[in-house]
Amino acid sequence: MYRTHTCGELRAENKGQKVTLAGWVQKARKLGGMTFIDLRDRYGITQLVVEADAPAKLVETATSLGREFVIQATGEVLERQSKNEKLPTGDIEIKVSEIKVLNKAAIPPFTIEDNSDGGDDLRMKYRYLDLRRGPLKESLTLRHRLAHEVRNYLDAKGFMEIETPYLIKSTPEGARDFVVPSRMNPGEFYALPQSPQTFKQLLMVAGYDRYFQIVRCFRDEDLRADRQPEFTQIDCEMSFVEQEDVLGTFEGMMRSLFKNVLGVDIPNPLPRMSWFDAMDKYGSDKPDIRFGMTIHEITDAVKGKGFSVLDDAAYVGAIAVPGAAEYTRKQLDELTEWVKRPQVGAKGLIYIKLSADGSIKSSIDKFYSPEEIKAIADKVEARPGDLIFVMSGPAKRKVQTMLGVLRIEMGNRLGLRNPKEFAPLWIVDFPLLEWDDETQRFYAMHHPFTAPKPEHEKWFYSNAKEDLERVCANAYDFVLNGTELGGGSIRIHNADMQKRMFEVLGISPEDAEYKFGFIINAFKFGAPPHGGLAFGFDRVCALFGGSDSIRDYIAFPKNNQGRDVMIDSPSRIDQEQLDELQIDLKSAPEA
């Protein structure tokens, strides 16, 4: 062992001990002939002192140290005269008698400080240096702690962690698969799992009763910010359960994570909101309930006053932004431009200012009397000082979604979204199916294994589109601060119902047999009622850490082009490898 103690553990009570530490030189500075060195390791920073009258060789070594040199230092623990209260080791310093340079370091391309001067690209390229910085160390420590707590909680509840395969079969329903050519079976491919969904259901069929796994999943999607081609799930499944059992179990897990990791108490039981309420009030199936500003429908209140934009709309909704009545014309124009961007897609933005002094000003003054405006304001539960935004359109959910996006933006601008405040809830009662106008077919809102609510089965077996649209599922999402952290459902456990689902989704019997034959078949041999859910672990970590970027919670993430710029991957492979796999590149890659 190169050390007797870590750089984080010495205290005043160690005074007088002879110790050896090893670590990185955070900084070294000369002061009146003495050299002060901040020595850093994972556990902390300890100050080393080489005194002016130390042996010449030692002084010389100390003087030669650069940032990030790796050294081993031996000396005596002294109590400091001027203590540093910011450091846990700030009561002591080491009077060094010997320094050994274990490894030199080139000058790092950016500073290894909590706030680095390096840009994103540079820090990604030298990720191993970026990971030395305090904030990233805290992120990964939090991640380890969370994974460990999850495992302890679930183990104690009788869940078994069972590893499912990574080389599975391509079933292109939903996102794209990453595929892996098989050398031993030329022309055939494995796929990397988008989730272990079918395997965990097979484990229920196999009688494992309570399964979980913290597991990597893969999706070959065009990457948006905060998406990674590989990501980690806390994947869970239980047998002989109803929705209530699943919600109770995992609410308990999240409660214990909040308590044990953050020391935060979350409500018991957690609030629940139906998908319909979430859409109506928050314009989102992942509402941020840390602040109000909910959506109110005002369709009836605005109709028939000669304002054709609203008269022609199928739905008119509004939000009241607290205390924003004094927004300037410029701010309102800027917000109008903001909602017109394709990401939101609004045609315009109607506003009503309710000044604190009782005066009202709006962009629709000429169509509505002050009393009518007042009635609208009452409907929106606006108070003096509030700014009301109104949006409308031919499709209710679309308008609600736009208002929801605007609501979040206003929450951000007004500082209502404190990352240290946690407001989790369950969203329940999702529609089972979503109709897609473009492809003229239904898609599964969760996935094709989700069961309809028993009381909606009559509609599920109907062929009328309206009936199918009414079917709800015992599906549920765990939402925190406007982010979906997890979701799941009670599954289909009956082969005939599963076949019906594929039929509803327009998957031909042949296709269903080819892609999912094994699970339909498995259901014939005694499948228990079962259900489960999965949490996006990267997101759980980020939100627990008070961040909205998952990248800081992944040791070696990829960039938005799916590249790992540190190892320069993906990369070309040898012709020999291609030949062995019996594949050709369609076009030669650029050199």
Is 137 a binder of a second copy (CB under 8 A)? yes
Single out the segment in contact with a second copy by CB under 8 A; choices: 18-26, 30-38, 457-465, 502-510. Answer: 18-26
Q: Mask: binding to a second copy, 66-85, rule CB under 8 A, as x and -?
A: --xxx-x-------------
Residues 168-187 that bind a second copy (CB under 8 A): 168-170, 172, 176-187
Q: Collapse the DSSP code of 101 into the 3-class scheme (helix H, G, I; strand E, B; otherwise coil) and give the result.
A: strand
Residue 132 CA to residue 390 CA, distance in Å, equals 48
Q: Say whether 21 sits in a helix, a strand or coil.
A: strand
Looking at 158-166, 275-283, 433-441, 452-460, which segment touches a second copy (CB under 8 A)?
A: 158-166
The one-character DSSP state at 262 is I
575 binds a second copy, rule: CB under 8 A:
no
> Does residue 570 interact with a second copy by CB under 8 A?
yes
Q: How many CB atoms lie within 10 A of CB 493?
A: 21
60 or 245, CB closer to a second copy?
245
Work out how close the CB of 37 gets to a second copy at its nearest, in angstroms, rounded to a whole number. 14
Q: Which residues, numbered 527-556, are part of the site for a second copy (CB under 8 A)? A: 527-529, 554-556
Tokens for 69, please give them.
């040199």
**In whole angstroms, how close is the CB of 276 to a second copy at the nearest point?**
27
Stretch 199-218 residues interacting with a second copy (CB under 8 A): 199, 202-203, 205-210, 216, 218
Q: What whole-number distance in Å separates Cα of residue 290 and Cα of residue 369? A: 34
Span of 134-142, 295-303, 423-431, 436-444 interacting with a second copy by CB under 8 A:
134-142
Give the SS3 label for residue 559.
Answer: coil
- Footprint on residues 476-515 left by a second copy (CB under 8 A): 493-494
- Give the pairing type, strands 70-79 and 92-103: antiparallel
| Residue type at 331 in one-letter notation | Q
Q: Which stretch binds a second copy (CB under 8 A): 73-81, 188-196, 331-339, 434-442?
A: 188-196
- Nearest distance from C-beta of residue 90 to a second copy, angstroms: 20
C-beta of residue 504 within 8 angstroms of C-beta of residue 433: yes
Q: Are 555 and 232 in contact (CB under 8 A)?
A: no
Q: Is 225 in the site for a second copy (CB under 8 A)?
A: no
Binds a second copy (CB under 8 A): choice among 15, 30, 42, 305: 42
Q: Which is nearer to a second copy, 448 or 482 (CB)?
A: 448
Q: Is 35 in the site for a second copy (CB under 8 A)?
A: no
Structure tokens at 153: 């909680």
Give CA separation, 165 vs 187, 193, 227, 233, 535, in Å. Answer: 21, 8, 23, 14, 19
Q: Which position has the token pair 């308990």? A: 252
Computed on alpha carbons and rounded to an integer, the radius of gyration of the chain in Å comes to 30
Of 22-30, 50-58, 457-465, 467-475, the window that binds a second copy (rule: CB under 8 A) is 22-30
Whichever of 240 and 435 has its CB closer to a second copy, that residue is 240
| Nearer CB in complex with a second copy: 24/275 | 24
- Burial class from Cβ neighbours inside 10 Å (0-12, 13-18, 19+) for residue 268 reads exposed
The smaller minimum CB distance to a second copy, of residues 352 and 507, is found at 507
Question: Which of 63, 67, 41 lies closest to 52 in space, CA to CA?
Answer: 63
- 19 neighbors 77 (Cβ within 8 angstroms): yes
Distance in Å, CB of 518 to a second copy, minimum: 5
Is there binding between residue 237 and a second copy (CB under 8 A)?
no
Under rule CB under 8 A, residue 243 binds a second copy: no
Applying CB under 8 A, the span of 56-64, 398-406, 417-425, 571-579 interacting with a second copy comes to: 571-579
**Shortest approach of a second copy to residue 585 CB, angstroms?**
5
Cα–Cα distance measured from residue 19 to residue 23, given in angstroms and rounded to the nearest whole number: 13
Which region, judged by CB under 8 A, interacts with a second copy, from 97-105, 114-122, 252-260, 387-395?
Answer: 97-105
Please, what is the minimum distance in Å from the beta carbon of residue 147 to a second copy?
6
Strands 424-431, 272-274: pairing is: parallel
Residues 335 to 374 in contact with a second copy, rule: CB under 8 A: none
Q: How far is the CB of 558 from a second copy (least distance, A)?
A: 7
DSSP summary character for residue 164: -
If we measure between CA atoms, which residue out of 134, 181, 67, 142 comes closest to residue 583?
181
Between 22 and 319, CB nearer to a second copy: 22
Q: Which of residues 99-118 bind a second copy (CB under 8 A)?
A: 102-106, 108
Q: State the DSSP code for 168.
A: B
Q: Which of 35, 47, 45, 32 is nearest to 6 (CA)?
A: 45
- Does residue 262 interact with a second copy by CB under 8 A? no
DSSP track, 298-359: -HHHHTTSS-HHHHT-SEEEEEEETT-TT--HHHHHHHHHHHHSTTT--S--EEEEE-TTS-
Interface with a second copy includes 574 (CB under 8 A)?
yes
Size of the site for a second copy (CB under 8 A): 131
Q: Is the Cβ of residue 189 or residue 461 nearer to a second copy in the bound state?
A: 189
Contact between 415 and a second copy by CB under 8 A: the answer reads no
With binding defined as CB under 8 A, does residue 558 bind a second copy? yes
Task: Please give the structure tokens belonging to residue 385.
Answer: 């000082």
Interface residue with a second copy among 85, 222, 455, 510 (CB under 8 A) is 222
Q: Smallest distance from the beta carbon of 219 to a second copy, in angstroms?
A: 11
Q: 120, 242, 326, 333: which one contacts a second copy (CB under 8 A)? A: 242
Cβ-based nearer residue to a second copy, 44 or 384:
44
Q: How far is the CB of 71 from a second copy (least distance, A)?
A: 9
Out of 9, 98, 188, 457, point to the residue binding a second copy (CB under 8 A).
188
The tokens 């050896």 sit on which residue? 20
The answer to whether residue 583 forms part of the interface with a second copy (CB under 8 A) is: yes
The answer to whether residue 587 forms part of the interface with a second copy (CB under 8 A) is: yes
Task: Say which residues have a Cβ less than 8 Å from residue 156's Cβ, sequence separation at least 6.
Answer: none
Enumerate long-range contacts of 203-208, CB under 8 Å, 24 or more apart: 203/162, 203/164, 203/237, 204/237, 204/238, 204/239, 204/491, 204/493, 204/527, 204/528, 204/530, 205/522, 205/523, 205/525, 205/526, 205/527, 205/528, 207/239, 207/528, 208/160, 208/162, 208/239
Q: Is 141 in the site for a second copy (CB under 8 A)?
A: yes
At 95 the three-state DSSP class reads strand
